[in-house]
Structure 1
Amino acid sequence: MPVSQDPLEARPTLSEQLRRGRELRHALRRRDHAALDLPDRDVIGLLEEQHATRMPDMVPIRVGRMMQSPFAFYRGSAAQMAHDLRDAPRTDVRVVACGDAHVANFGLYASPERRLMFDLNDFDEVTVAPWEWDVKRLGASIVLAGRDVGASEDECGDAVAEAVRAYRRALHRLFEMTALERFYYRVEADRLEESARGTAVRDLMRKAERKARRRTSTRVLRSITTEGSGTALRIVDEPPVLRHLGLVAPEAALRLMEAYRDTTAPDVVALLEQFTVVDGAFRAVGVGSVGLRAHIVLLVGPSGEPLFLQAKEARPSVLVSHGGMPFAQARRALSTPGGPGREGWRVVTGQRVMQAVSDRFLGWFAYDGHDYYIRQFRDMKGAVDLEALTPAALAGYAGVCGALLARAHAQSAGAGAIRGYLGNGTTFDEAIAVWSRRYADVAERDHAALVAAVRTGRLEAVEGV
């Protein structure tokens, strides 16, 4: 969503946006996106800066997870990449950007109609920022994921080019639609499966879809150890990743649920009135998010049915803190309040803008100096197993992600300029393929620096957790 404007002010027409995009080619040639000029940086220092405000006992687990591979490191290094892109040449066409659009952040989830959707699914870093940053974040992740499965450098480069080609072509199709048609356009998993390029990609999509359909709150209840029954149910600790830490005082729990109800949809509030909160526990998630405050809350309905919600801490977007994007612009664009809760609001609002359909349980609140957002935990959520990708399937899956990123960006007013800038040629596709391979090399060097910092004792790591 763009910066708020006077409702009576004329908006740029599509032809004006296309013309602006074409004119931007003179200021920044499309082939020049291949250049990579890193600023002075201390990658370990940047990590230490982030870790200073995280839960101290969880930081070694985060480091251990990032040590697993260069791609695992990359998943936790959105701040480092924002720092690297901060002063890089750009068109400066700004959209509501994901901020962490790597290939592992696309996945399956259920629509309110219980249809499986496939889309971007991580918005912790969402804000208003240059569109190229998301494209480059995606491109480098494709190379790193490809190297993990044994793809050659040419295959990795071709997969990036396919992702950017799909992004460019999707934008072309989307801007042949009206704004309303773009708004309503969605990609359901079965349609995506049919259109996916290559049998291997379709097989992986089907496997992920079958797994996602089995992930319900009842299944979560079975997989997360509990004891008791009915309203006496209790989550059993599995330290260090699942435990009762007392971060939220018991007397505050009901007050926080009331605050959440004030920020979610009225029909969800009516549903929640039938449920009782019976337990909650800290549960570490992901790679980049380890060390943030993240809780799962168990509620039980009138027939004993479970409902799991996740409350996750929302920090300022790294595109603001490390990329230099002005929060004031995001605040106006996303109607974000300036006081407590603003970061949770930013995540929720950004998700609703970028996704075709979003979790009905989204909401936010502030507690004890921290902002949080809430979503349903694991309900029909799933992802393609990236380790099962073959080099031949890499390009097909990359193309799916590129097209979905285009749909998300196309929701921002002024995004037609991106289509005008890209045109119909392959120059930009090829430039990003070159840039992505170069930045993947940087991520590999950064990963090696992380491993060395652990070996020399600068950083502590707990592996295998």
Structure 2
Amino acid sequence: MVSRRIYADRTEQSFESAEERRAQGKAYRKELPIEELGRYVRSDRDPVAILKKQDETRLPDLVPLRHERMSASPFTFYRGSARLMAFDLAQQPNTGQQVVACGDAHISNFGFFASPERRLVFDLNDFDEAAPGPWEWDVRRMVASVVLGAKDANYSDEDVQHLAQQTAHAYRIAIRGLSQQSALERYYQSIDEQLIVDRLDASSLPAFQKVAAKARRRTSVQAVTKMTELDENGRLQFREDAPVLTHLIDAPARDLRKLYREYLASASPDIRLLLEKYRLIDGARRVVGVGSVGTRCYVVLLQDAVGQPLVLQIKEAVTSVVTEFNKPNASTPDTLQRREHNGKRVVDHQRILQAVSDPFLGWGSAGGHDFYIRQFRDMKGSIDLSKLNARGFEEYVTGCGLLLARAHSQSPALHWIAGYLTKGAKFDKAMTRWSMAYAEQVDEDYKRFVA
């Protein structure tokens, strides 16, 4: 018998081991010392003009509400100003290594949701801005949000710095640890409710258990109870609650039905078959969040043959602020095609970054706009940071650092980043120093925005 070998193709011939990539990252510390990442580079820009650029594509009647919600505090302003920060991040020094980035990894964008197996998991939960970009952008947005969130909760300056440094520390340690695992181990790794309970300090446990219990109750059935009523003919419909929940008529209503049909075509075969057992009975515009206010967001009400409801959420997807300001290079993951459907972009990158994702994810277009679709309130829950004690806050932000590292570990740049990051706390201190400086910038921008 003649033996045969499968010879490496060109791609495999350029394949580098984890050790080689870590060595490259370590060597790059001489090109860009880690301490340099802590230097905040100011730029001459008009923060209000950068943010108002987004208003041009938003629903005019909702723009004042967007401004009102962003004006509540410097932290809420920060949450709604991802575009402004992306502009600023593009001016900062970075290592040139890019990953599939969340694009909006602030600490309020982590939370509980249900896995397809109905486990309660904790992970990143907002991917409107997800796209390939520098890994430092996500870390800086996360650590700066810790600073602003802790200031919002009236922590001392010493405690704020400690919390920021612990967040960066958690990310660094996790990246270095994940680099020692196999790709498959990293892919399957997730944090569920039990894992959180096992590592929590006793004083923090009640706050997390309360949120978990509330998340389990947040289902389509609960949403229907709160958001619907019977019309004069006894049919279920959404309850009008302007401006938060308003019905659609004429062309927008027709667009929504067209969008739903496109969504069905994009859904996985099992979900498509499942949804054939439902009929679409109502739809409405629903205002959500802070940064998303003014984008086209809807909910649709479905009902099966025995009268059981299901609510899906439809969110407009526009070009990511990461894509807008990032300059791709040879390290940029090839996950974003030119002129790609933005709804598909959100779905694809959510599936990469999350350990488990909503099986109902899909996308479609209507009225010249791209959208993505998911379940509405499927056991979703977020932590009220103001209700946490100091120990609980630290455990929470540490978890956020771990989860961001797990998300970044799905990208090829992992081993390079792990090599670049030292065993010592240089990176932790650099991120803290940068984030403290950027928090001052946010305070200034917030005052100009409110004025």
TM-score, normalised via structure 2 length: 0.94
**Which position in structure 2 is the counterpart of 1:279?**
282
Q: Which consecutive residues of structure 1, in runs of 5 or more, have no partner in the other structure?
A: 453-465
> Is 1:195 the equivalent of 2:199?
yes
1:59: how far off?
0.5
Q: Per the alignment, in what secondary structure is the counterpart of residue 314 of structure 2?
A: strand
CA distance in 1, matches of 2:250, 2:65: 19
Alignment of 1:173-252 (within 5 A): 173-196=177-200, 198-228=201-231, 232-246=235-249, 249-252=252-255
Given residue 152 of structure 2, which amino acid in structure 1 is its aligned partner? D
Alpha-carbon spacing, 1:230–1:359, altered in 2? closer, same or farther (3 Å): farther
Structure 1 residue aligned with 2:292, among 263, 280, 289?
Answer: 289
CA distance in 1, matches of 2:10, 2:228: 53
1:7: how far off?
5.4
Q: Given that residues 243 and 281 in structure 1 are in contact (C-alpha distance below 8 angstroms), is that contact kept between their aligned partners in structure 2?
A: yes
CA distance in 2, matches of 1:309, 1:353: 22
Given residue 193 of structure 1, which amino acid in structure 2 is its aligned partner? V
Structure 1 residue aligned with 2:309, among 292, 306, 310?
Answer: 306
> Is 1:125 the equivalent of 2:146?
no
1:271: how far off?
0.5
**Which position in structure 1 is the counterpart of 2:167?**
163
1:363: how far off?
0.4
Given residue 202 of structure 1, which amino acid in structure 2 is its aligned partner? L
Structure 2 residue aligned with 1:324, among 308, 319, 326?
Answer: 326
1:114: how far off?
0.3
> Is 1:136 the equivalent of 2:136?
no
CA distance in 1, matches of 2:108, 2:351: 19
Q: Per the alignment, in what secondary structure is the counterpart of residue 41 of structure 2?
A: coil
> Is 1:53 the equivalent of 2:57?
yes
CA distance in 1, matches of 2:390, 2:129: 30
**Which position in structure 1 is the counterpart of 2:76?**
72
Q: Given that residues 60 and 294 in structure 2 are in contact (C-alpha distance below 8 angstroms), is that contact kept between their aligned partners in structure 1?
A: yes
> Is 1:444 the equivalent of 2:443?
yes
Given residue 271 of structure 1, which amino acid in structure 2 is its aligned partner? L
CA distance in 2, matches of 1:421, 1:248: 54
**Which position in structure 1 is the counterpart of 2:4?**
none
Alpha-carbon spacing, 1:60–1:345, altered in 2? closer, same or farther (3 Å): same
Q: Given that residues 256 and 366 in structure 2 are in contact (C-alpha distance below 8 angstroms), is that contact kept between their aligned partners in structure 1?
A: no
CA distance in 1, matches of 2:446, 2:298: 29
CA distance in 2, matches of 1:364, 1:79: 23
Structure 2 residue aligned with 1:263, among 259, 262, 266?
Answer: 266
**Which position in structure 1 is the counterpart of 2:339?**
338
1:248: how far off?
5.2
**Which position in structure 1 is the counterpart of 2:387?**
388
**Which position in structure 1 is the counterpart of 2:94?**
90
TM-score, normalised via structure 1 length: 0.91
**Which position in structure 2 is the counterpart of 1:459?**
none
Q: Per the alignment, in what secondary structure is the counterpart of residue 297 of structure 1?
A: strand
1:36-90 residue CA offsets vs partner (Å, 9 max, x unmatched): 1111110111121111111111010000001100000000011011101112110
**Which position in structure 2 is the counterpart of 1:358?**
357
1:247-289 residue CA offsets vs partner (Å, 9 max, x unmatched): 8544444432221112111110111000010000000100000
Alpha-carbon spacing, 1:451–1:210, altered in 2? closer, same or farther (3 Å): same
Q: Per the alignment, in what secondary structure is the counterpart of residue 304 of structure 1?
A: coil
Q: Given that residues 194 and 202 in structure 1 are in contact (C-alpha distance below 8 angstroms), is that contact kept between their aligned partners in structure 2?
A: no
> Is 1:397 the equivalent of 2:396?
yes
Aligned length: 443
Structure 2 residue aligned with 1:63, among 67, 75, 78?
Answer: 67
Alpha-carbon spacing, 1:268–1:42, altered in 2? closer, same or farther (3 Å): same
Structure 2 residue aligned with 1:154, among 152, 158, 162?
Answer: 158
**Which position in structure 1 is the counterpart of 2:5?**
none
1:327: how far off?
11
CA distance in 2, matches of 1:180, 1:248: 47
Q: Percent same amino acid at aligned positions?
A: 42
CA distance in 1, matches of 2:441, 2:382: 26
Given residue 34 of structure 1, which amino acid in structure 2 is its aligned partner? G
Q: Given that residues 201 and 397 in structure 1 are in contact (C-alpha distance below 8 angstroms), is that contact kept between their aligned partners in structure 2?
A: no
Q: Which consecutive residues of structure 2, in runs of 5 or more, have no partner in the other structure?
A: 1-8
Q: Given that residues 230 and 237 in structure 2 are in contact (C-alpha distance below 8 angstroms), is that contact kept between their aligned partners in structure 1?
A: yes
Alpha-carbon spacing, 1:298–1:325, altered in 2? closer, same or farther (3 Å): farther
CA distance in 1, matches of 2:244, 2:14: 52
**Which position in structure 1 is the counterpart of 2:424?**
425
CA distance in 2, matches of 1:329, 1:346: 19
Q: Per the alignment, in what secondary structure is the counterpart of residue 405 of structure 2?
A: helix
Q: Given that residues 166 and 394 in structure 2 are in contact (C-alpha distance below 8 angstroms), is that contact kept between their aligned partners in structure 1?
A: yes
Given residue 381 of structure 1, which amino acid in structure 2 is its aligned partner? K
Alpha-carbon spacing, 1:327–1:414, altered in 2? closer, same or farther (3 Å): closer
CA distance in 2, matches of 1:350, 1:150: 35
Given residue 165 of structure 2, which amino acid in structure 1 is its aligned partner? A
1:9: how far off?
5.0
CA distance in 2, matches of 1:43, 1:335: 28
CA distance in 2, matches of 1:449, 1:95: 33
Given residue 387 of structure 1, which amino acid in structure 2 is its aligned partner? S
CA distance in 1, matches of 2:61, 2:330: 34
Q: Per the alignment, in what secondary structure is the counterpart of residue 266 of structure 2?
A: coil
> Is 1:81 the equivalent of 2:85?
yes
Q: Given that residues 248 and 283 in structure 2 are in contact (C-alpha distance below 8 angstroms), is that contact kept between their aligned partners in structure 1?
A: no
CA distance in 2, matches of 1:107, 1:307: 22
Alignment of 1:404-415 (within 5 A): 404-415=403-414
Q: Given that residues 149 and 389 in structure 1 are in contact (C-alpha distance below 8 angstroms), is that contact kept between their aligned partners in structure 2?
A: no
1:417-445 residue CA offsets vs partner (Å, 9 max, x unmatched): 11111121100001111111111111111
Q: Per the alignment, in what secondary structure is the counterpart of residue 30 of structure 2?
A: helix
**Which position in structure 2 is the counterpart of 1:460?**
none
Q: Per the alignment, in what secondary structure is the counterpart of residue 204 of structure 2?
A: helix
1:293-320 residue CA offsets vs partner (Å, 9 max, x unmatched): 0000110112211111011000100112
Q: Given that residues 319 and 325 in structure 1 are in contact (C-alpha distance below 8 angstroms), is that contact kept between their aligned partners in structure 2?
A: no
1:136: how far off?
0.4
1:206-254 residue CA offsets vs partner (Å, 9 max, x unmatched): 1110110010111001111322499921112100111014385444444
